[in-house]
Amino acid sequence: MKRILAVFTFALMTVSLAAAQRLPEVAAPENYKLTFTPDLEKATFEGDETISIRVLKQTSEITLNATDIDFHDVTITSGGSTQKAKVTPDKDQEMVTLAVEKPLSAGAATIHITYTGILNSEMRGLYLGKDDQGRKYAASQFEATDARRAFPSFDEPNYKATFDITAVADRGQVAISNQKILSDTPGPGDKHTVHFAPTVKLSSYLAALVVGNFEYIEGEADGIPIRVYSTPGKKEMGKFALESAVHVLSYYDKYFSIKYPYGKLDLIGLPDFSAGAMENAGCITFREVLLQIDEKQGSVDLKKTVASVIAHEMAHQWFGDLVTMKWWDDIWLNEGFATWMSSKPLEKWKPEWNYDLDDVSGTGGTLNTDSLANTRPIHQAAETPGQIMELFDGIAYGKAASVLRMLESYLGEETFRAGVNAYIEKHQYANATADDFWGAQAKTSKRPVDQIMPTFVKQAGAPFINVKSQCSGNATTVTLDQRRYYYDREKFQSPNDELWQIPMCMKSSTGSQKCELLTKKEQTFTLPGCSTWVLANAGATGYYRAGYQPDAVRALAGDAESKLTPAERIALQSDIWASVRVGREPVGDFLAFAQGLKKDRNRAVVDDVLGRLNFIGRYLVTDSDRYSFRSWLRGYLSPMLKDVGWEPKPGESDELRTLRARVFNALGYDARDPEVLAQARKIATKALDDPSSVDREMAGGALTLAALNGDQTFYDRVMAAIKNAKSPEDYYNYLFTLPQFTDPKLLQRTLDYAISPDVRSQDALGVVTSVMGNPEGQKQAWDFVLSHWDAVQKVGGPFASAQVIGSTSSFCDAHMRDQVAEFFAAHKIEAAERTYRQSIERINNCVDLKSQQEPQLASWLGQHGSSAGGQ
């Protein structure tokens, strides 16, 4: 699965796990024959199911998972005799027990069930959706534990079985599932019946069905037909997705020793969809905006995201679908691998988009979460549906991906690939654990992967390597010591005994390099030549932070552009910031480093610097320093914009276009540059009249800037544009302009609109939390959440509560923290327990950072004047 919104989540599981909610090991499924007859008007469906099972030991009871299922006839056939079964549901456990009088002996048996289910509006199980024209459709979303809402099942990932799916659909509607269509015949009545070919062995959460009005465009790669489906009228917007998928499939078919195993591939854009996308085998479902994009008009940013989500879901066809984790505690074997893998085909296809640098920035973001005391290890026990849901977080995706990148770099790309293929071949159509993975890698590479990986997978947090280097004669001695990094200064400074086995590479100012495996708390190495600094993350593939002595930081700042790669510059500035966060360095050192990069025109490097300057501007600048901070920022950024140019030039690179938009936005938002704000207003007005008349990279940012001082007339124009948007991208550009206004009356309209029926429930909380992310709307949005808690919980699907709780982490004062704590003490959310603790911790960290660095910042700004940045 791909989550669309980063929920700042993560941690040591201090809450006690609820009682194990697992099926008894009495029987296992071999095949499901399923017929679904949806009634879109009544929002129900009829189900007819035959499960072929193996009874493992004699029993008179079989327990299955089932939720919101109304059972009709249930029989079990074994040894030639058929018995009626008594059905006893257990609502809390989401199970049902089928009991027969005469015990079933071990061996083959079949269960036959007829039932009625609900096409719910919660975007899980088999649910009801609606397109822009009001046409209804049914679609499935089963991960993690919702197949049980569509059919009684052994709904745990290790119970793999084959599926024969049949759908009875209204005339004119199509049915799409994991496999190709075997037959499509008229009847019953004015409906038609679609039989799909049997699947290979799959976990229940990977079965899929979509029924409704859809159209498609088609291509092919390596003999596999690929279709991109959309709701009527949007199929042309599938072209970019199709092109991406064709490229990605060809790449994966070469990378893996097993070719794409599902015969066909469908990618389906759904208007109502709770996650970002879902990797159902051969039948991947997406949020519309992550699949349907205007090929010519679409922005580079969104194209990159679309391609990346497609590559992620397609990587799952191997990591997750072909080889599946045994239990959810190893969800990283799915999500970490798909995240790590997704950049590979795209780097090859579009090297100019620099996905590799985005990955380095991504590691910085993940370290951010992993610096909390309330983070969690990658491998994490979870039993209940709520706990399982919470595992789909930044650790399962980002940290696992970063650790895999580090391992790949340590072993070498080809050795790592051989290990991956050995692992997949051994566990194809079956399940695996973390130990299976590093066991395979250790065996193939003959290196201590099984020693390294558990320290990163089973241990929470990230290591901090303290670097002390000294030149003596014609050599440089480097002493490295490791400890766990925490944002919490007290925790960071107290002795901790965590120990990692860290593959790392060093690089010195004289150009020498050395790669080592750190295994002890403290180790000393020698590099040739007399160096002014030694960088402890050469290549920027490491999953750790490094801290340097102040003179080394100054020397590195001077050499950053000439001697470090863009990736190393990104990692280094993240490291310097980490030292500021724990008070090892004053914030001025970070600003000085940023100033050293003022001639840097690498989009990814600048992006990262701007992100931290935005943080400083928002949290560390006091009212009395705001004027001088903004002037400093203008002095820093204006020459950059002048250099890049205000207008796009023919033939310029996508990276340059994106860089212009980033610098423009920062000048407008963080520096409040009047000229930029005036220009933004012009671009926004044009974008509202005709989106194709402006550079697409600029449109979203310009709308946001125009909203800062936007009045009611402008607000009404944005609202009208939402209703007339021609593409999903335009729609979201306009929709997410609404939370950026500053007038409280307009923000109130936005909040009310967000939870109204006019906004799809998947988008509602994104709008509310964006108001919370707007400093002018923060308090208002929080009060709104408090007074509309029931409505807020109802909209937004399974990720909803975590999204709201996660967004409270943008608060930075003790009073708000107490309000958050008080509210969630009274309104416990099981699926966001860790997210809650993390939010509180983040607020505390921010409050502490403010008290520590505010005066430092004031004094630095005092010394560096208002336009020093430009000099």
Applying CB under 5 A, the residues found at the interface with Zn ion are 1-2, 335, 338
The minimum distance between CB 279 and Zn ion, in angstroms, equals: 6
Instruction: Give 3-state DSSP helix, strand, coil % of the chain, rounded to 5.
Output: 45, 25, 30
Q: Which is nearer to Zn ion, 37 or 803 (CB)?
A: 803
The smaller minimum CB distance to Zn ion, of residues 308 and 808, is found at 308
- What is the smallest separation between the CB atom of 1 and Zn ion, expressed in angstroms? 5
Close Cβ partners of 268 (under 8 Å, ≥ 6 residues apart): 139, 176, 210, 214, 228, 229, 230, 283, 284, 285, 286, 291
Contact 519, 479 (CB under 8 A): no
What is the number of helices (H) and of strands (E) in the chain?
A: 28, 29
Give the residues across from 51 on adjacent strands: 32, 111
Q: Which is nearer to Zn ion, 1 or 609 (CB)?
A: 1
- Tell me, what amino acid is at 58? Q
Torsion sign (Cα): 626, 627, 633, 636? negative
**Minimum gap (Å) between residue 371 Cβ and Zn ion:** 24
Shortest spacing between CB 313 and Zn ion, in angstroms: 7
Tokens found for residue 183 = 């037959």
Whole-angstrom distance, CA of residue 363 vs CA of residue 403: 9
Distance CA 796, CA 119 (A): 16
**Shortest spacing between CB 338 and Zn ion, in angstroms:** 5
Both tokens of 166, joined, read: 């049949």
Q: Confirm if 234 and 296 have CB atoms less than 8 A apart.
A: no
Q: Cβ of residue 392: shortest distance to Zn ion, in angstroms?
A: 8
- Residue 516: in which H helix or E strand, if any? strand 513-518
- Closest approach of Zn ion to the CB of residue 722, in Å: 29
Phi, psi of 104 (to 5 degrees): -90, 130
Taken as a whole, the chain contains a residue count of 871
**Can you tell me the distance from the alpha carbon of 713 to that of 641, in angstroms, rounded to the nearest whole number?**
30
Is residue 134 packed enough to be buried (19+ CB in 10 Å), middle (13-18) or exposed (0-12)?
exposed
The tokens for 540 are 């920027």
Instruction: State the Cα torsion 292-295-299-302 to the nearest 10°.
Output: 30
Give the gyration radius of the chain's Cα atoms.
28
Residue 344 CB, shortest distance to Zn ion, in Å, is 15
Q: How far is the CB of 816 from Zn ion (least distance, A)?
A: 33
> How far is Cα 29 from Cα 403, in angstroms, rounded to an integer?
35
Select 37 or 431, whichever has its Cβ closest to Zn ion: 431
Nearest by Cα to 612 from 641, 559, 639, 576? 576
Q: In what order do the strands lie in the sheet with 215-221?
A: 215-221, 224-230, 265-270, 283-287, 277-278
Q: In the complex with Zn ion, which residue's Cβ is closer, 1 or 552? A: 1
Shortest separation between residue 651's beta carbon and Zn ion, angstroms: 36
CB of 206 or CB of 671, closer to Zn ion: 206
Q: Left if phi > 0, otherwise alpha if psi is -120 to 50, otherwise beta: which for 571?
A: alpha
Active-site residue (options: 49, 122, 288, 313): 313
Q: Write the CA distances from 778 to 749, 770, 781, integer angstroms.
A: 15, 9, 5
**Residue 758: CB partners within 8 Å, gap ≥ 6?**
none
Nearer to Zn ion, 401 or 640 (CB): 401
Nearer to Zn ion, 335 or 670 (CB): 335
Nearer to Zn ion, 398 or 539 (CB): 398
Cα 463 to Cα 366, 483, 491, 492, 716: the distances in Å are: 13, 6, 13, 11, 51
Nearest to Zn ion of 338, 382 (CB atom): 338
Residues 617 and 629 sit within 8 Å (Cβ to Cβ): yes
Residue found under tokens 């925790």: 491
H helices present in 696-832, as ranges? 696-708, 712-723, 728-735, 744-754, 761-773, 778-787, 789-794, 800-807, 814-826
Q: Nearer Cβ to Zn ion, position 323 or 707?
A: 323
Report CA-CA distances (Å) from 50 to 53, 86, 153.
Answer: 9, 16, 10
Tokens of 210: 């979509």
CB of 393 to Zn ion, least distance (A): 12
Closest approach, Cβ 141 to Zn ion, in A, equals 13
Nearer to Zn ion, 392 or 664 (CB): 392
Q: How many other β-carbons are positioned within 10 Å of the β-carbon of residue 841?
A: 22
Classify the phi-psi angles of 96: left when phi > 0, otherwise alpha if psi is within -120 to 50, otherwise beta: beta
Is 313 considered catalytic here? yes
Picking from 395, 599, 406, 383, the residue whose alpha carbon sits closest to that of residue 505 is 406
Minimum CB–partner distance for residue 316 and Zn ion (Å): 6
- Residue with smaller CB distance to Zn ion, 94 or 279: 279
Q: Which residues are catalytic?
A: 313
